[in-house]
Amino acid sequence: MKLADYEGKTIREIERQNNRKAGLNRRFAITNIALGLFLILLGCGLASFYYHGHLDRLNASIADLQIENGILKEEKASLQSQLAEKQDEIERLDFIFHVVKYQDTLSSISVKYYGTIGYTAELAELNDLTTKTPLRVGQIIKVPRKPYAEWKN
């Protein structure tokens, strides 16, 4: 305030005038603070809304990936089972074709390839023979390279 503003006024009037200006300044400051807080909160709310939507999309993606992971695990198990079956088939096709020589028997062939006569009956069955069937020289006998797992010695 200028000195001219104080001329002819009582101290009380000057104090009231100063108090009004101070009150206006306080109200203006409080309004500015309130507006600032409102803008900050609005910004936080928008950011929260944005990130919340983003988190929802991420959670949905995680759920999709978990479902896909379960499907892939099932497919893997199925493929492993198919592989085991194919390997078993390959082993079953993996034969030695023994040409019968003079005095060969199914028992002697079993001993030659497996070290025991314990697979004589299985070799006979595999070749559509019986254990008593005499073998002929030159006859071909299928002998698996490894005894089948279901064959009991």
Domain positions in the chain: 10-93, 95-144
Residue type, 6: Y
pLDDT tops 60 at residue 1: no
The residue ranking higher by pLDDT, 23 or 76, is 76
Residue type, 28: F
**pLDDT tier for residue 3 given thresholds of 50, 70 and 90:** low
**What is the rounded average pLDDT of the residues 10-23?**
69
Spatial distance between the Cα atoms of 87 and 76, rounded to a whole number of angstroms:
16
Q: Given this model, what pLDDT does residue 50 score?
A: 65
Query: Regarding the domain delimited by 95-144, which CATH topology (the fold level of the hierarchy) does it fall under?
Result: Membrane-bound Lytic Murein Transglycosylase D; Chain A (3.10.350)
Q: Given this model, what pLDDT does residue 6 score?
A: 64
Entry pTM? 0.42
Q: Residue 68's closest CA among 56, 60, 80, 82?
A: 60
8 Å CB contact between 127 and 90: no
